[in-house]
């Protein structure tokens, strides 16, 4: 059973992630009053790129991409993707928790596994010997430092509110009582404010800015490598949004409700993406360290005091 | 008998190597490596053979004794291994340098005295070995002369202050209880008052804190590291600094006892919480100062200080899990920081002494093994899963969260992110990006450098995937100190409140990596191009000037550098200036002219006569 879960979870992440990418282009086009590409356009792109030939700057240039995508897939295995153990009688369609490796380390491992994909891309980009790539990586690192400060406060507030480091336990406690968005509301607000930064979408897309630094780390990539990076972006999108749903919206009693909640969060984030222009990196750092950090900090004080 | 044999081999090796150098340099090199390897063998044979012996009775009325126990063995093997690796590394790194007899025998003396410290059974032997360690370290730090003399002076002055305070603590123990035997003192101290325990912890703590480089006492470390030769930096940061950790463990848990420590102080003055907060500050501030450094070894030195904070937090917290994490992090840190110093040493060796991060780049193509070492080292330093640094950090984080201290956990996490940024800069500026023309002919590191680098890489992964091996030894150490044993498995920590299974994580990553790699291979293979053949959006690219590494995180530097002044260092220099000024004005009394001295004598006689006339004292 667990083996099946291990295979199914990444496949769900892949399908939904790619679908969301297509949806994203469609939504932005509609907001801009264009017609937009078909929703399956990313699939076409990936298949086309897989057949094209790219240049290569050596083994690390290629392995960095592989490491990045593998890291994202493994992260998916540690995140509960819907399902419940606590309220199965109440919901006829509920199933057991879909999280094959939740028992191997909990939320702390998720935080660290999420390092693999930026690190892999940074290594590959560094091996490409293109200064645009290096500038992009430097921006990506700074942005990560900027949003990790509030993000860690958020995760710690949630973990100390529920008194556990186990991810399934956090979800189960929400399904029994209030959702996280009600019991730790300021953390939820902070997490939503940094959501675009974690996803790397506008107004926080300075790391891969096409017009300024030739897409940064992606500058030298093409063909199958670029296809894998596109897939990585999709899986990463899935990881971040599912984290939000699990931490604040009580996960889902089954995979369908889980995906519906994800869709709602994704649409909200896309609305910001569609209308805001890009920040400068300094402003992004200042923003992340101001409002989201203040909110998350306040929530953590409340959590510690009320314990 | 065994601890005596170990010390005889260690100190004997020192003298022998010096004499061998007089005969033939080759003989000296062989002997130095051999004696450090023999030590590793003898110490590993000693596992489980605990015992105590008196090696000098009634020295100043005190019996001097040696003992081998779990804590001592744990630190001995760690000292011996890192020392052996840096000995092997020295073979080519030091080749052709001057005063090599002195260098090799001092390296062995440092490790011998460290072994003495961890094997002593009473505080007088402890103090004697501690002093030998401080002085031999001083000589090695100032080995290169020039600026190194200044760094060495800074170290020895701070070290002496620490020794004096420690001596006060030891003497008070002797005055109070009439013995310095650690085992006996443990029983006697059970009835001591809280005030005396606090005094003892403070006196010893300052000495250990200076060696350990805890925040306000850290100022000697960055200078010492950037001036010492690289193989010695590895020993210095990997083990010597961690003798402070041994000291803390010894007095806090072997001597005073866990129960007393946890009950010491109350409210805001709770001892173990205050100490944990000191650890938290030691993590954050030095890590962000490291971000601003451009000298590779200085950057690593600041990380050495910062990582010490994790050990302090874990150890000070006083739970079984926390202390295990603190001790485990000590050896983990030793393995990857030593590895990183060796890598920087290898780069220095091949590029002619360059370690300025703004002048290197692209060396991955020329020095693949050094690159691999650097990559694994920084992964350990960050604590990426599959490396040993991850396991110990996970254990420490879990302790902090489960005990309801999220703010401490937050400080520790932010420190990790500061580490990610600065070590990526280290890796990128040395090994990634474009290879400058002047280094295009650089050769691979020699075999004697590759062996220690690969050995440390292996240790980092083995302890990372099967952390049960070292944790079982740590369990023995903890049992000795009176902690509840942890629930362990070979691949992690078993627990009801969240277990860790590194083998699963390893398998998942391995399989995912293999699958993605195969998918990538389905597409056409990439066409290999030179590094200059890269996309520049149509603009002209001058050759050899196409590397983004200077001011790598420029926007952040501008934001944080005003807040990150090393105030403690400035304060020490201020005090040193004042003392210098005071001594200078005292010196002016001695002008060197006979006339002035006559004047002093006459003035003094006049003063005496005046006193006699007015008060009739005589």
DSSP per residue over A129-166, as a string? Answer: T-HHHHHHHHHHHHHHHHHHHHHHHHHHHHHHHHT-S-
| pLDDT tens profile A75-108 | 998 898 887 777 677 777 777 777 887 777 788 8
**Are A56 and B526 inside 8 Å of each other by CB?**
yes
Query: Which of B211, B233, B264 is the C-terminal boundary of a domain?
Result: B264
DSSP-derived 3-state class of residue B605: helix
Distance CA B412, CA B455 (A): 29
pLDDT mean over A119-147? 86
DSSP-derived 3-state class of residue B63: strand
Using CB atoms, pick whichever of A55, A112, A130 lies closest to residue B384. A112
| B108 and B233 both lie in a single domain | yes
The tokens for B116 are 């003495």
pLDDT for the residue B545 = 63
pLDDT for the residue A17 = 92
Q: What is the DSSP letter of B513?
A: H
Interface residue B49 vs chain A (CB under 8 A): no
Using CB atoms, pick whichever of A134, A285, A304 lies closest to residue B406. A304
Please compute, for residue B524, the number of CA atoms within 13 A of its CA located in the half-sphere on the CB side.
13
A-facing residues of B in 556-615 (CB < 8 A) are 556, 558-559
| B204 and B85 both lie in a single domain | yes
**Are B497 and A109 inside 8 Å of each other by CB?**
no
| pLDDT tens profile B569-611 | 788 888 888 888 888 888 777 777 777 888 888 898 899 888 8
**Which residue in A109, A73, A96, A7 sits closest to A235, CA to CA?**
A73
Distance CA B360, CA B430 (A): 5
pLDDT for the residue B543 = 67
Distance CA B158, CA B163 (A): 9
Mean pLDDT across chain B, nearest whole number?
85
Distance CA A13, CA A69 (A): 12
**Are B548 and A134 inside 8 Å of each other by CB?**
yes
Query: Rounded to 5, what percent of chain B is helix, strand, coil?
Result: 75, 5, 20
Query: Which of B485, B508, B529 is the C-terminal boundary of a domain?
Result: B485
B-facing residues of A in 250-269 (CB < 8 A) are none
**Are A108 and B524 inside 8 Å of each other by CB?**
no
Which residues in B lie closer than 8 A to residue A149 (C-beta atoms)? Answer: 414, 417
Interface residue B498 vs chain A (CB under 8 A): yes
Which residues in A lie closer than 8 A to residue B492 (C-beta atoms)? Answer: 104-105
> A225: nearest CA in chain B?
B520
Q: What are phi and psi of B500, to 5 degrees?
A: -130, 130
pLDDT for the residue A160 = 86
Mean pLDDT across chain A, nearest whole number?
87
**Are B508 and A6 inside 8 Å of each other by CB?**
yes
Distance CA A65, CA B438 (A): 30
Beta-bridge partner residues of B120: B66
Which residues in B lie closer than 8 A to residue A108 (C-beta atoms)? Answer: 394, 397-398, 498
How far is the CA of A22 from the CAs of A38, A201, A263, in angstroms? 7, 14, 13
Sequence-ordered list of residues with C-beta below 8 angstroms from that of A26, at least 6 positions apart, any chain: A36, A37, A38, A39
State how far residue B498 is from chain A, nearest Cα, in angstroms: 5
pLDDT for the residue B497 = 67
Share of chain A above pLDDT 90, in %: 27
Distance CA B612, CA A198 (A): 87
Largest separation between any pair of C-alpha atoms in chain B = 110
Q: Is residue B500 part of a domain?
A: no
Which residues in A lie closer than 8 A to residue B536 (C-beta atoms)? Answer: 130, 132, 214
**Which residue in B453, B374, B356, B426 sits closest to B93, CA to CA?**
B453
| B4 and B68 both lie in a single domain | yes
pLDDT mean over A124-134? 83
Size of chain B in residues: 618
State how far residue B404 is from chain A, nearest Cα, in angstroms: 6
pLDDT mean over A178-186? 86
Which residues in A lie closer than 8 A to residue B553 (C-beta atoms)? Answer: 138, 141-142
Interface residue B175 vs chain A (CB under 8 A): no
B-facing residues of A in 126-165 (CB < 8 A) are 126-132, 134-135, 137-138, 141-142, 144-145, 148-149, 152-153, 156-157, 159-160, 163-165
Which residues in A lie closer than 8 A to residue B559 (C-beta atoms)? Answer: 282, 285-286
Q: How many CB pairs lie under 8 A apart between chains A and B?
A: 231
DSSP-derived 3-state class of residue A304: helix
State how far residue B558 is from chain A, nearest Cα, in angstroms: 9
The Cβ of residue B495 has, within 10 Å, a number of other Cβ atoms equal to 16
The Cβ of residue A17 has, within 10 Å, a number of other Cβ atoms equal to 25
| B122 and B239 both lie in a single domain | yes
DSSP assignment of B341-399 = HHHHHHHHHHHTS--BTTT---GGGT-HHHHHHHHHHHHHHHT-TTSHHHHHHHHHHHH
> A139: nearest CA in chain B?
B553
Using CB atoms, pick whichever of B394, B509, B536 lies closest to residue A105. B394
| B347 and B219 both lie in a single domain | no
**Are B428 and A134 inside 8 Å of each other by CB?**
yes
The Cβ of residue B177 has, within 10 Å, a number of other Cβ atoms equal to 15
| B187 and B314 both lie in a single domain | no
> A77: nearest CA in chain B?
B508
Using CB atoms, pick whichever of A149, A214, A228 lies closest to residue B516. A228
> A135: nearest CA in chain B?
B548
A-facing residues of B in 344-403 (CB < 8 A) are 362, 364-365, 375, 382-385, 390, 394, 397-398, 401-402
Compute the C-alpha angle B236/B242/B248, nearest 5°.
150
Q: Is residue B508 part of a domain?
A: no
**Are A132 and B535 inside 8 Å of each other by CB?**
yes
Pair B114, B474: CB distance under 8 Å: no
| pLDDT tens profile B66-78 | 888 888 899 999 8
pLDDT mean over A283-293? 89
**Which residue in B69, B65, B49 sits closest to B479, CA to CA?**
B69
| B233 and B330 both lie in a single domain | no
Query: Which of B485, B513, B542 is the C-terminal boundary of a domain?
Result: B485
Interface residue B537 vs chain A (CB under 8 A): yes
**Which residue in B276, B221, B209, B218 sits closest to B245, CA to CA?**
B209
The Cβ of residue A44 has, within 10 Å, a number of other Cβ atoms equal to 12
Distance CA A88, CA B575 (A): 69
| β-strands A55-56, B527-528 pairing | parallel
Q: What are phi and psi of B68, to 5 degrees?
A: -120, 120
| B274 and B410 both lie in a single domain | yes
Which residues in A lie closer than 8 A to residue B537 (C-beta atoms)? Answer: 132, 214
Interface residue B417 vs chain A (CB under 8 A): yes
> B508: nearest CA in chain A?
A74
pLDDT for the residue A150 = 92
Residue with tokens 């010390």, as numbered in its chain: B7
The Cβ of residue A277 has, within 10 Å, a number of other Cβ atoms equal to 7
Number of compact structural domains in chain B? 3
State how far residue B584 is from chain A, nearest Cα, in angstroms: 49
Helix A223-248, helix A255-275: angle, nearest 10: 110
State how far residue B429 is from chain A, nearest Cα, in angstroms: 9
DSSP H helices in B65-146: 70-93, 100-119, 123-141
Mean pLDDT by 10 residues, chain B (618 residues): 85 87 86 89 86 77 84 90 90 82 88 90 88 89 82 86 89 84 82 82 88 83 84 88 90 82 76 86 88 87 90 87 90 91 89 82 84 91 89 88 85 89 88 82 84 91 88 87 80 74 85 88 83 74 70 80 77 84 80 80 89 78
pLDDT for the residue B561 = 78
Q: What are phi and psi of B64, to 5 degrees?
A: -95, 125
Cis? peptide before B100, omega within 30° of 0? no
Burial label, B235 (beta-carbon count in 10 A; 0-12, 13-18, 19+): buried
**What is the complex's ipTM, to 2 decimals?**
0.90
Domain with B160 in it: 1-264
State how far residue A134 is from chain B, nearest Cα, in angstroms: 6
**Which residue in A120, A233, A97 sits closest to A168, CA to CA?**
A97
Q: Is residue B497 part of a domain?
A: no
A-facing residues of B in 466-495 (CB < 8 A) are 492
Interface residue B173 vs chain A (CB under 8 A): no
The Cβ of residue B10 has, within 10 Å, a number of other Cβ atoms equal to 28
CA dihedral B428, B432, B438, B444 (to 10 degrees): 110
| B240 and B297 both lie in a single domain | no
The tokens for A288 are 């992340």
Using CB atoms, pick whichever of B364, B385, B421 lies closest to residue A60. B364
Distance CA A42, CA B286 (A): 45
| pLDDT tens profile B381-436 | 988 888 988 988 988 888 888 888 888 888 888 888 889 888 888 898 888 888 88
Burial readout A106-139 (b: 16 or more C-beta within 10 A, e: otherwise):
bbbbbbbbbbbbbbbbbbbbbbbbbbbbbbbbbb
Beta-bridge partner residues of B122: B181
The Cβ of residue B295 has, within 10 Å, a number of other Cβ atoms equal to 16
B-facing residues of A in 194-253 (CB < 8 A) are 214, 219-220, 223-225, 227-228
DSSP-derived 3-state class of residue B501: strand
Helices (H) then strands (E): counts for chain B: 24, 6
> A127: nearest CA in chain B?
B432
């Amino acid at each position: 059973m667990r083996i099946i879960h291990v295979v199914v979870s990444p496949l769900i992440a892949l399908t939904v992630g790619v679908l969301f990418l297509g949806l994203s282009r469609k939504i932005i086009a509609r907001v801009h009053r264009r017609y937009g590409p078909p929703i399956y356009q990313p699939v076409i792109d990936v298949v086309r790129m897989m057949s094209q030939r790219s240049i290569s700057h050596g083994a690390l240039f290629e392995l960095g991409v592989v490491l990045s995508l593998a890291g994202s897939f493994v992260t998916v295995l540690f995140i509960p993707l819907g399902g419940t153990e606590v309220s199965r009688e109440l919901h006829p369609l509920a199933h057991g928790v879909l999280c094959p490796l939740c028992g191997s380390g909990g939320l702390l491992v998720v935080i660290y596994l999420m390092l693999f994909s930026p690190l892999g891309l940074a290594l590959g980009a560094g091996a490409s010997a293109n200064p645009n790539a290096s500038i992009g990586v430097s921006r990506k690192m700074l942005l990560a430092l900027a949003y990790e400060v509030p993000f860690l406060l958020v995760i710690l507030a949630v973990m100390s509110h529920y008194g556990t480091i186990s991810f399934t336990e956090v979800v189960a406690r929400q399904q029994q009582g209030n959702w996280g968005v009600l019991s730790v509301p300021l953390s939820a607000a902070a997490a939503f404010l940094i959501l675009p930064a974690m996803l790397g979408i506008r107004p926080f897309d300075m790391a891969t800015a096409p017009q300024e630094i030739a897409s940064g780390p992606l500058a030298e990539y093409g063909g199958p490598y670029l296809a894998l990076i596109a897939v990585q972006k999709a899986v990463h999108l899935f990881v971040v949004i599912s984290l939000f749903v699990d931490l604040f919206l009580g996960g889902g009693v089954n995979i369908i409700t889980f995906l519906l909640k994800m869709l709602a969060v994704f649409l909200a984030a896309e609305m910001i993406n569609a209308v805001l222009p890009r920040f400068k990196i300094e402003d992004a750092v200042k923003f992340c360290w101001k409002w989201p950090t203040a909110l998350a900090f306040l929530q953590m004080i409340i959590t510690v005091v009320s314990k | 008998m065994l601890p005596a044999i170990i010390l005889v081999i260690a100190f004997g090796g020192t003298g022998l190597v010096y004499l061998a150098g007089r005969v033939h340099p080759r003989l000296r090199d062989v002997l130095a490596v051999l004696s450090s390897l023999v030590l590793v063998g003898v110490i590993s044979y000693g596992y489980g053979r605990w015992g105590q012996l008196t090696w000098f009775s009634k020295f100043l009325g005190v019996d001097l004794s040696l003992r081998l126990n779990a804590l001592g063995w744990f630190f001995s093997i760690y000292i011996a291994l890192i020392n052996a690796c840096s000995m092997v590394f020295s073979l080519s790194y030091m080749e052709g340098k001057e005063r090599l007899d002195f260098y090799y025998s001092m390296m062995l003396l440092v490790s011998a005295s460290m072994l003495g410290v961890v094997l002593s059974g009473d505080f007088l032997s402890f103090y004697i070995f501690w002093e030998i360690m401080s002085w031999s370290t001083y000589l090695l730090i100032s080995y290169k002369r020039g600026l190194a003399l200044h760094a060495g002076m800074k170290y020895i002055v701070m070290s002496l202050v620490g020794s004096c305070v420690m001596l006060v603590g030891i003497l008070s123990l002797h005055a109070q209880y009439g013995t310095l035997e650690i085992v006996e003192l443990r029983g006697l101290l059970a009835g001591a008052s809280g005030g005396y325990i606090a005094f003892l912890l403070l006196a010893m703590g300052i000495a250990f804190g200076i060696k350990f480089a805890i925040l306000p006492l850290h100022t000697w470390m960055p200078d010492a590291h950037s001036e010492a030769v690289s193989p010695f930096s590895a020993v210095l940061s990997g083990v010597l600094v961690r003798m402070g950790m041994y000291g803390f463990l010894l007095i806090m848990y072997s001597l005073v006892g866990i129960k007393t420590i946890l009950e010491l102080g109350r409210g805001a003055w709770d001892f173990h919480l205050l100490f944990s907060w000191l650890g938290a500050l030691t993590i954050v501030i030095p890590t962000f100062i490291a971000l601003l450094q451009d000298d590779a070894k200085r950057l690593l030195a600041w990380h050495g200080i910062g990582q010490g904070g994790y050990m302090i937090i874990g150890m000070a917290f006083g739970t079984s899990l926390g202390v295990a994490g603190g001790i485990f992090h000590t050896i983990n840190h030793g393995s990857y920081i030593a590895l990183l110093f060796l890598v920087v040493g290898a780069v220095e060796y091949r590029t002619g002494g360059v370690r300025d991060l703004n002048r290197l780049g692209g060396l991955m193509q020329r020095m693949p093994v050094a690159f691999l070492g650097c990559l694994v080292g920084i992964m350990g330093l960050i604590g990426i899963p599959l490396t040993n640094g991850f396991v110990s950090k996970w254990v420490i984080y879990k302790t902090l969260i489960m005990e309801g201290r999220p703010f401490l956990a937050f400080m520790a996490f932010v420190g990790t992110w500061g580490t990610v940024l600065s070590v990526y800069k280290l890796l990128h500026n040395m090994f990634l990006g474009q290879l400058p023309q002047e280094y295009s002919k650089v050769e691979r590191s020699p075999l004697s450098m590759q062996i220690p680098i690969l050995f440390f890489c292996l240790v980092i992964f083995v302890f990372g995937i099967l952390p049960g091996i070292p944790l079982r030894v740590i369990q023995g150490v903890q049992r000795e100190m009176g902690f509840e044993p942890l629930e362990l498995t070979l691949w992690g920590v078993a627990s009801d409140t969240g277990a860790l299974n590194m083998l699963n994580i390893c398998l998942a990553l391995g399989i995912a990596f293999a699958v993605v790699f195969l998918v990538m291979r389905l597409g056409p293979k990439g066409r290999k191009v030179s590094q200059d053949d890269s996309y520049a959006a149509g603009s002209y690219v001058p050759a050899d000037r196409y590397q983004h590494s200077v001011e790598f995180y420029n926007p952040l530097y501008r934001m944080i550098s005003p807040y990150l002044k090393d105030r403690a260092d400035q304060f020490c220099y201020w005090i040193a200036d004042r003392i210098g000024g005071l001594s200078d004005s005292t010196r002016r009394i001695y002008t060197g002219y006979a006339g002035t001295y006559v004047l002093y004598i006459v003035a003094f006689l006049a003063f005496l006569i005046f006193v006699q006339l007015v008060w009739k004292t005589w």
